[in-house]
Amino acid sequence: MDSVTNKLDKKVAIIGGGIVGISTAIFLLRRGCEVTIFDKKILDKPASFGNAGWLSSTSIVPVLTPGILSKLPKMIFSKYGPLFLRFPGWISMIPWLLKYLSFSSKEKVNYIAENLKPLTIDTVAMHKKLSLNTQASRWIKESSFFYIYKNKIDYENDYSWTVRKNFGYQWKEVQSEELQNTYPDLDKDYKFGIRLDNMGYISNSMQYLSDLVDEVKKLGGSIIEEEVIDIEEVENKIHVVTKNLKNYQFDRCAITCGVFSNNLAQKFGSTVAVQSERGYHVEFEEPNINLKFPIMNAFMKFGITPMQTGLRFAGLVEFGSLNSEPSEKAFNKIISNAHEMFPALTYSNIKKWSGHRPATADSLPVIGQSPSSENVYFGYGHQHIGLTTGPKTGELLSKSILQDNDIIPLNSYKADRF
């Protein structure tokens, strides 16, 4: 491991301790930096905990693809539709939603895929690198994944496979019999599947984050559990101001607050706002069903992962509810979908969670130096794939902060690209 030569660059504040912030901290600590993570409350079940746990090396396709406008009514109003609009919150999002829609053309989707590929392709290797010689490595599972459909036509109409094919990904088509043999408890209406290899998942999402936080501490990093309300730059020093008006001084800082990054990032020149795509999960404890591999139900649009803590069903997209309570209707939809998918499902208890995906209008994260200060860095906006891309972002950001990024150019992820 190389150590930092320039003393001025040594003291770094990371604002936000989700997977992006924790990864950045670990890569910086390994290079000899003095690192402090600020979080309102560390390990308080952020998005980095509540996700489906997927390390998805093929997730290069944004949610919005060509033809999305004609599909929207079904996505909102049909029984299985995954999209919720929360009134009145979503009304104020209309300008952002229109911009989001403008990135659904073939050309834009190709551009997004091209720039998500380097962040996702080696996700399992990156998680192994991050967790090397730590307790966290025990939760990384290499696995195949199945995308399931009720029929082959639905698969053929799913534009995401056209994009993946264009970018050189391969998969195996699975017919009814093999699908039923792989998942004997699956409802017989599912007659077609896709098997993707070289994927992975985190089998205990809370313990994984907690083990990584232990690694931060073991490497000498500090954790301060206070909300950051401002960042000031005075005479080339960064002052982090917290809610109880304490002021901490650093050489550099990284803003990795997920969906709460806007205010701090805008102050330092970011034009790329994040909006919440709220998601939900329901975890069925002690289920009677053992899944050999995680599933993406491409009909109902949610992921099912065999976690050590239970069978987790995660998904749905809700706009306009960043400051509202979670919706019981959404939880009930997941529960009824789960029973429809596995009619014999039993369990001892259910645990519910809801949190916010940090979405940008062009589905690309913001990674790298602020346009207005060489001491401020950004790592936010990882939408549906922040667990997958967290360690890669962490390494890119750490190298960016130390001015020696030689992994990939960061132009497409620039904070002033809009």
Ligand X SMILES: Cc1cc2nc3c(=O)[nH]c(=O)nc-3n(C[C@H](O)[C@H](O)[C@H](O)COP(=O)(O)OP(=O)(O)OC[C@H]3O[C@@H](n4cnc5c(N)ncnc54)[C@H](O)[C@@H]3O)c2cc1C
* Residues at the interface with ligand X (CB under 6 A): 15-21, 38-40, 46-48, 50-54, 56, 227-228, 256-258, 260, 279-281, 303, 314-315, 355, 357-358, 380, 382-388
Alpha-carbon 302 to chain mean position: 14
Q: How far is the CB of 42 from ligand X (least distance, A)?
A: 7
- Write the single-letter amino acid at 99: K
Q: How far is the CB of 84 from ligand X (least distance, A)?
A: 12
> Considering beta carbons, is residue 17 or 287 the nearer one to ligand X?
17
Nearest to 312 by CA among 332, 329, 295: 295
The DSSP result for 344-376, as a single string, is: T---SEEEEEEEEEEE-TTS--EEEE-SS-TTE
Q: How far is the CB of 164 from ligand X (least distance, A)?
A: 16
Strand order in the sheet with 237-242: 228-234, 237-242, 247-250
247 burial via Cβ count (<10 Å: 0-12, 13-18, 19+): exposed
> Considering beta carbons, is residue 11 or 281 the nearer one to ligand X?
281
CA distances from residue 166 to 61, 108, 145, 192, 195 in whole angstroms, order as listed = 11, 14, 20, 22, 18
Q: How far is the CB of 55 from ligand X (least distance, A)?
A: 7
Q: How far is the CB of 176 from ligand X (least distance, A)?
A: 26
Q: How far is the CB of 121 from ligand X (least distance, A)?
A: 13
CA distances from residue 58 to 118, 259, 359, 395 in whole angstroms, order as listed = 10, 23, 18, 20
Alpha-carbon 198 to chain mean position: 19
> Considering beta carbons, is residue 66 or 272 the nearer one to ligand X?
272
Specify the 3-state DSSP secondary structure of 379.
strand
> Considering beta carbons, is residue 354 or 412 the nearer one to ligand X?
354
> Considering beta carbons, is residue 53 or 346 the nearer one to ligand X?
53
> Considering beta carbons, is residue 262 or 412 the nearer one to ligand X?
262
The DSSP result for 5-46, as a single string, is: --GGG-EEEEE--SHHHHHHHHHHHHTT-EEEEE-SSTTS--
Q: How far is the CB of 44 from ligand X (least distance, A)?
A: 6
> Considering beta carbons, is residue 7 or 49 the nearer one to ligand X?
49
